Structures are given as C-alpha cells and as structure tokens.
Structure 1
Amino acid sequence: MANLRGIETFVKTVEGGSIAAAARLLGVSAAAASQNVARLEKELGTRLLTRTTRSQALTPAGEAYFARVGPILDGLAQARAELTALHDAVQGRLKIASSVAFGRHVVAPLLPVFMARYPQVQVEMMMADRNVDHLKEDVDIGIRFRHALEPGLVARRIATAPMVFCAAPAYLRQHGRPKTPEDLSEHPCLAFRMPLDGRLMQWPFLRDGASVSPNLKVAAVCNDIDTLAALAMAGAGITRLGSFVANPLIAAGLLEPLFLATGRSRSRAQADPEPLEFFACYRDRRHVPAPVRAFLDFIAPAVHNHPLLQAPAWPPKH
C-alpha cells in the first residue's frame, strides 16, 4: 500500500503548484518532498508528475490518482478536526494574514486576549497589503477589505470602519477647510497606492445613496497608510485614513476631521465618506479547523463597537 506521507506530499504538490510549495506547507525541505513523491511513484509503478526545471504537470495516471486520493485526505483532515472539537481542545497553528494598517492597529492589540483564551494555539501574523494566496502561503485566515475579496474564499464580514478625511490644524488655518468633496480639487491630496494593482485608491463619498468620487489634486502618493498620516500631520495636505488610524491622532489634536455629518442643516452638495468593510476569509466552508473556527467566533464580537471603528469625536472632549 502506498505510504500516506507520499500521498500527502503528492496532493500538496498538485494543490500548491510545485514541490517547493508542498515542502513549505508540510514543513520539510524541497529535497525531502521530492523524495516522498519519487518513492510514491516507485511504489505505484507509474509516473504521476512530469517535471522540468521550470514547470510540472500531471500525467494521465496522476490526474486519475489525484481525483481519488484528494478527497480521502480531505476526509482524514475533517475527521481529525472533528475529533479535536469532540475533546474541546483548540490547538495547533493559526496563520492570519491582514492588511497592514488594520492588522497593526486593530487585530494585533486583540491577539493577547485570544492567545490567553486558547493557549495551545500558536499564532502567526502576516502583514501584507496585497492579495495573499491562502493555499500556496499556507494562510488560515485572511483579513481583507471588500475590494480585495476574490472567488474561492469564504468571506465573513467582521467590521465596518469609517473613513476619515483629515489634515493638520496648521494646514487648515492656512488653506481653509473644504466644504464639499469637489473642493478637494483645490487642495494637495495625499493618496494611497494599492499594492494589489498599482492604482491609486479612490476617495468615494455617498451622496443621496449614490457613490461619487471627486477629482483630486494629488500632491503625494504612498503605499503605507501610517506614512500618509505622518505627512498629513506635517502639514503636507489632506489625506483619507481609516478611523483606526485617524481617531487617536484626532483625539491628540494632531489632525482635524473633515466632512463630518452635520444633521439636517447640511446642503445637498455635502456628502458622507464611504466606509470600508473588512472580512475574515478562509478556504473551505465544509472543513474549518478548530483554531480557525475559534478565531472567527472571537474576532467579530471583539471588534463590535470597537472605539477605533467609530466616527471620530469632534470637537474632542477635554
């Protein structure tokens, strides 16, 4: 009978796209993974993969074998997860990938509570403002905003963050406050370049239920939100920050918010900044490992009514 380690390595190689990816997923060297597959092929008496220095492909025998053994491995993993849940032992590794600013300011400060609740879970945080490949990079949960969602992942909404337009008090004293989104074309704007596709992130507003994105006079661009906040505090212009970055700086008097709702007296030309929705994403709805299920159950209540996910208090109370 073919060895289970060889079968597992073969399946991970197909799913990950390479021997190297399988090795990373299994925590072994590429040489060891290659030997596992070679040993399996020898035991079966047939070639499963055709390999070159740059690529690999399934042979017809490999396709038939993968179709049979893939579901079997999934069943074994599900049985293991169910057994763990039966004994109420949430344990193992949990790799979380998050957009940088949200991970730094919201998720990371909450992790000590989760870790104290589940001491047998080893947490790894991966901070990246790009689309992370959950399979190839062995990610259990990805924290993404709506624009970064992709097919093939299960997505559960966990938070809505107000977006805050803001500038330094000294800048506003010198240049005045924009009253409507269209006024931004007269001010230097500090924009975020999305690592996902290289485009500048739009600054959308909601006006009468419709989304509008004004023309901007872009003065500076950066792919890091905290750097944009630093530029704004230094008086370089107006920027758009998540409330989880802006609120502490506004409370400290380093930035002032713009375009806050003013109730019934507001004019039709005014608009509200469109919020940013965050989702917890994972690979398989049917097979959810215990650490993933525990984190999903933890994170949504933890961020509900979180002070960094509220509109900024203005003027600040002293």
Structure 2
Amino acid sequence: METLSSIECFVRAAEAGSFAEAARRLGLTPAAVGKNVAKLESGLGVRLFLRSTRSLSLTEAGERFLAEVSGGLASIQGAVANLASSQGQPAGTLKVSMGMAFGRDYILPHLADFLARYPAIVPDWHFDNRPVDLIGQGFDAAIGGGFELPPGVIARQLGPGHRVLLAAKDYLARHPAIESPDDLARHDGILLRSPQTGRVRAWPLRTRDNQQASFELKMRMAMSDPEAACHAALQGLGVTLVSTVHALPHLQSGSLERVLPDWYVDTGGLSLYFSAQKLLPAKTRVFIDFIVERFRERTLAEKFNANSVPMRGSP
C-alpha cells in the first residue's frame, strides 16, 4: 500500500503541477507528498520530475509513466473502495458538488432516505455554483449544467437545461407590455454574470417549433447568483433570465410570472457527472442510481422543461 500511496502522490502532483496543490487535494503535507514521490523514484531508479524553486515538470520518463499508471490507479482505487464496505454495503465518504439552491431544493430533501438505504456512506457535499475539477479535486460526482466535458469524465443527463424570463406582476403592470423579444430592449434587466468568466452572456431565445430570436435587456443590475436575481425580480426591479430549476418554485407560488411564455433559452442539459473509470466505487454508483430514480419518480425532467413550466401559479 505504500507503493500505491506513492503512485497516487505522483499522479496528483503531475496533474496539479505542484507538490503543495497535490498535498491539498490528498489531505497531506507537501513534505509527505515529496517524500512519497522521492521513494517512488528511488524504487524505480528513474527521475520522474524536474524540480526547481518555481516549477515542477515531468521528465520524459515521468510522462510515459503517468500515461501508463493514471488509468490503472483509478481502477485500483475503485476496487479498494468497493471492498472497504460495511457488511457488504456501499461505504465511505461521498464527495459531491452541486449548485447551492439546486442542492438545497432538489437533492438535500432526499438525504434522509439515501442514508437510511446506505447508512455506511458519509456525505461530503459541496454547494457551489462554480464547476469543479472532478478528478483533480477528488470529487466522486457533480451535478450541474452547461459544462464542457473534460477528459476522463462522463455525464448522465437528468433533465433539460432551459432558462426562462421572469418578472414580478407589479413590474409588468407598471411597464409597457412585452409581446415579442424585440420589446425586451425597453425593459430593465436583472442580468446574470457567469461565475467562471464574470461576463454576461448573450443567449438566443427559441420556441417549441424552433423559431429563434436574439434579445437584449437594458442592464439595470447584474448578479452572480440566480437566486439573488430572482429575489431582485421579486422586488419589481426588472426582468431576469434564470434556469427553470430556479424559476419553478417562484412560478408555482405565483410570486413571479413568465415573460414571453412561448420563448426560452436552451443551454443543453442538467447532468450528473462522474469518472469514466470502468470500476466505479459502489458508493458513487448507488448515489447515481438513487438520484436518477428520484428524478424519474418526481418527473423532474418534465417539470424543468420550459414547454411545461407554468406561466404563473394558481390563483
């Protein structure tokens, strides 16, 4: 197991380009990571890294070794995790990343049922609207949408990634009617900045029958969190564009109304991301199956579809 630990330190250091960052991801000290890598180099009789005070880079031999062992390391770790169970049940720490409001509203309510079914699993759930480096940061899974699929990661779609326009009833009553996408240019916008780039992205609108239109809102304010944008809209401050995941509770309660209900933005899908390794740890596999099962039981994919999302709540 010392050799396996040394190989893991080598792989994480190569991925991070730093002993310090590898140590942070592994929960070790930089000195321990360096010592394990040195032990591995000594046992192999070859130098794997070129070290300097400012950089860490792989030697030619290190690059070859990384290509040969990184996939095998994931398989071995998966096998070990599957054996390290309590009375044959999936066990271990389950590290998952998900959006704050999404996790609170759609995943956390099922935690008690999940733990009743799998009592030996210890959730380590991170609530953040930013995408994570699933493999590099040691996450077992992540839930989100609109992310590029990095190497070594696969996705299982949970539902559509649709966004809809929302505003408070009193805002709509005080401003000119919005009857087409062109009318939006005269309205105050509560715009969302990307947490990755800090930019406000211009999205094209579409309809069920594939009509498309560009649109523009006057920037009255910008937010980095969709829930904050919804709360600003609740105060009658303008029109916002958020995912149906965030819009649905407000539409069901009647606190916000859809603007141009025949139009929406398609950003891809809401997906569950996990490692592409062949031998997935049991704790990760049962979590994926559990979430997919709950989404199917609650017909959330249909509810998140902009073509079925209500215009407003019941009177």
Q: Normalising to structure 2: TM-score of the pair?
A: 0.85
Residue 296, structure 1, aligned to residue 288, structure 2: yes
The corresponding residue for 1:150 is 149
Residue in structure 2 matched with residue 317 of structure 1 by the alignment: 314
Q: How far, CA to CA, are the matches of 2:244 and 2:62 in structure 1?
A: 51
Determine the C-alpha separation between the residues in 2 that align with 1:43 and 1:149.
38
The residue aligned with 2:263 is 272
Q: Secondary structure at the residue paired with 1:3?
A: helix
| Alignment-mate amino acid for residue 223 of structure 1 | S
Residue in 1 aligned with 2:217? Answer: 216
What per-residue deviation string (whole Å, max 9, x for no partner) do you get for residues 263-318 of structure 1? xxxxxxxx421345201112224232112111111112212313963644455335
Relative to structure 1, the CA distance from residue 105 to residue 172 in structure 2 (aligned partners, 3 Å threshold; closer, same or farther) is: same
Structure 2 counterpart of 1:79: 79
Is this contact kept in 2: 1:96–1:142, CA < 8 A? yes
- Percent identity over paired residues: 33
Structure 1 position 95, deviation (Å): 1.3
SS in structure 2 opposite 1:148?
coil
Measured in 1, the distance between the counterparts of 2:244 and 2:270 equals: 13
Relative to structure 1, the CA distance from residue 127 to residue 285 in structure 2 (aligned partners, 3 Å threshold; closer, same or farther) is: same
Please state whether the residue corresponding to 1:272 is helix, strand or coil: coil
Distance 1:218 1:297, change over 3 A: same
Q: Which amino acid aligns with 1:293?
A: R
Q: Are the counterparts in 2 of residues 177 and 258 from structure 1 also a CA contact under 8 Å? A: no
Worse overlay, 173-182 or 220-229: 173-182
Gapped regions of structure 1 (runs ≥ 5): 261-270
CA contact (8 A) 1:168 1:235 kept: yes
* Structure 2: unaligned runs, 5 residues or longer: none
The amino acid across from 2:149 in the alignment is E
* Residue equivalent to 2:229: 228
How far is the alpha carbon of 1:144 from its aligned partner?
A: 2.2
After superposition, the Cα gap between the structure-2 partners of 1:149 and 1:115, relative to the gap in structure 1 and judged at 3 Å, is farther
Describe the shift of the 1:316–1:64 C-alpha distance in structure 2 as closer, same or farther (beyond 3 A): closer
Q: Within 2, Cα distance between the matches of 1:58 and 1:161?
A: 39
Alignment partners' CA distance in 2, 1:140 and 1:186: 46
TM-score by length of 1: 0.84
Corresponding letter in the other structure for 1:205: L
- Distance in 1 separating the partners of 2:125 and 2:71: 29
Give the letter for the 1:104 counterpart.
R
Tell me the residue number matched to 2:91: 91
Question: After alignment, is 27-36 or 99-108 more displaced?
Answer: 99-108
Q: Note the alpha carbon deviations across 1:4-37, whole angstroms, 9 max, x for none.
A: 4323322332233322233234322222111222
What value does the CA root-mean-square deviation take over the aligned residues? 2.9
Determine if contact 2:98/2:126 at 8 Å carries over to the other structure. yes
User: Which deviates more, 241-250 or 117-126?
Assistant: 241-250
Alignment partners' CA distance in 2, 1:63 and 1:317 = 61
For each residue in 1:185-204, what CA deviation from the matched residue of structure 2 results, as whole angstroms up to 9, or x when unmatched?
Answer: 11111111112223213343
Tell me whether 1:283 sits opposite 2:284 in the alignment: no
CA shift in 2, pair 1:90/1:185, >3 Å: same
What CA distance in whole angstroms lies between the structure 1 residues aligned with 2:229 and 2:263?
21
1:248 alignment partner AA: P
